[in-house]
Amino acid sequence: MIGGGVLGLEAANSLRKRGHDISVVEFFPRLLPRQMDPEGAEVLQAQMESMGCRFFLGAKTKEISGDDRASGVLLEDGSMIEGGLVIISAGVRAQAGLAGTLGLTVNRGIPVNDRMETEKKGVFAAGDVIEHRDMCYGIWPAAQTQGEVAGTNIAGGDVTYEGTTMSNVLKVVGIDLAAAGDIDADGKYDAITHKDRDNFIYKKIVIKEHVISGCILYGDITGYRKILKAIEEKKDVSGIMDRLGKWDISAL
Ligand SMILES: Cc1cc2nc3c(=O)[nH]c(=O)nc-3n(C[C@H](O)[C@H](O)[C@H](O)COP(=O)(O)OP(=O)(O)OC[C@H]3O[C@@H](n4cnc5c(N)ncnc54)[C@H](O)[C@@H]3O)c2cc1C
């Protein structure tokens, strides 16, 4: 499996359940780079390794070997991973050909303003194909809100889109994972964490300037809705830090 993101891991796990030996090659040094920080990814990796998966992290693929059919994947460091089936699950790219034909700029997506209007007056765009305030979301709730804003403005209204809190509730290899906002993968901010490696649980709440700015809940997503609401409302949590430190989410 080339790509250790959500869809790659799901496909890998399905094949594993069918009795295949699975090796996952991921360009980033950790799994689920968008949803997990290094500590959480390590718990997920340990759990998947205990199921029999092998991982090659921080690894770049060079070539798929084989003549009539695949026989393996060669990495840039020269190591060879043998395998009879290679699946690439390495992200999505906007199908922006139409925008190009219209003479619109296409970066990672088509840039739009807060009214979902492209650089050409009267031409609107929304969803996975757009780039708003340098963000390409690629998630359903963002596409839905953007579509509503674009539709309202096309129909003569005047509404704006302020962005969507990045949030995902997923089942990764059968285990619940919820991640939202800024997961602070580099550990720049304060955080309340709970790690139980034996039971494959990892939880983290990121606090930036007295406000919860993001979270990761792996293996136990109790309280996720409350945490997400606090992120969206930019709730000041300075008065309840003691309770949050004990994972008393009812304090929120
Ligand atoms: C496998 C998978 C799983 C996902 N799971 C989740 C999830 O669990 N949660 C979540 O929030 N998001 C998920 N997503 C992302 C979610 O599907 C997208 O964010 C959402 O579909 C975006 O909606 P959209 O209308 O912008 O684009 P799309 O749903 O991609 O719709 C675009 C449509 O436009 C058509 N089109 C393209 N070019 C042209 C053209 N020139 N003329 C006419 N039609 C054209 C395409 O064929 C397509 O039907 C997942 C995505 C994938 C691929």
Q: What is the pLDDT of residues 5-62, one digit of tens each?
A: 988 998 999 999 999 999 999 999 999 988 999 999 999 999 999 999 999 999 999 9
Distance 129 CA to ligand 1 centre (A): 9
Question: Is 52 found in the same domain as 24?
Answer: yes
The alpha carbon of 214 and the centre of ligand 1 are apart by a number of angstroms equal to: 25
Is 150 a domain residue?
Answer: yes
Task: Give the CA count within 13 Å in the CB-facing half-sphere of 240.
Answer: 15
Distance CA 90, CA 2 (A): 7
Residue 106 has pLDDT above 90, yes or no: yes
Ligand 1 atom having least distance to the Cα of 130 = 26
pLDDT reading at 91 higher than 90: no
For residue 204, the model assigns a pLDDT of 97
In percent, how much of the chain has pLDDT > 90? 88
* DSSP assignments along 40-82, one per residue: HHHHHHHHHHHTT-EEEES--EEEEE-SSS--EEEETTS-EEE
pLDDT at 171: 81
The answer to whether residue 64 sits within a structural domain is yes
- Residue to probe by mutation, ligand 1, list 104, 139, 144, most atoms within 8 Å of CB: 139
Please indicate, yes or no, whether residues 104 and 78 belong to a single structural domain of this protein. no
**What does the radius of gyration of the chain's CA atoms come to, in whole angstroms?**
21
Alpha-carbon gap, residue 171 to 179, rounded angstroms: 11
Q: Which amino acid is at 236?
A: D
Distance 74 CA to ligand 1 centre (A): 32
Domain identity same for 139 and 185: no
Domain span including residue 184: 173-251
Claim to verify: residue 192 and residue 127 sit in the same structural domain: no
Residue 101 above 90 pLDDT? yes
Residue 30 Rama label (left phi>0; alpha psi -120 to 50; beta): beta
pLDDT at 34: 86
Last residue of some domain: 47, 82, 117?
82
The answer on 247 and 177 residing in a single domain is: yes
> What DSSP state is assigned to residue 250?
G
Global pTM reads 0.83
Distance 116 CA to ligand 1 centre (A): 17
> What number of CA atoms fall less than 13 Å from residue 35's CA on the CB side?
24
Question: Across residues 186-200, what is the average pLDDT?
Answer: 94
165, part of any domain: no
List C-alpha distances in Å: 251 to 196, 216, 230, 233.
22, 18, 11, 15
pLDDT tens digit sequence for 202-249: 999 999 999 999 999 999 999 999 999 999 999 999 999 999 999 999
How many angstroms separate the Cα of 221 from the Cα of each of 79, 91, 127, 227?
A: 38, 25, 27, 10
Residues 180 and 235 in one domain: yes
| Ligand 1 environment, Cβ below 6 A | 7, 95, 98, 127-129, 138-141, 143
Q: What's the structural domain count of the chain?
A: 3
* pLDDT at residue 170 tops 90: no
Which mutation among 140, 161, 176 tests ligand 1's pocket best, with the greatest number of atoms within 8 A of CB?
140
Asked whether the predicted pLDDT for residue 169 surpasses 90, the reply is: no
Domain boundary among 49, 82, 115: 82
Same domain? 127 vs 78: no
Q: Which atom of ligand 1 is nearest to the CA of 92?
A: 53
Instruction: Give the integer Cα–Cα distance in Å for 209 and 187.
Output: 14
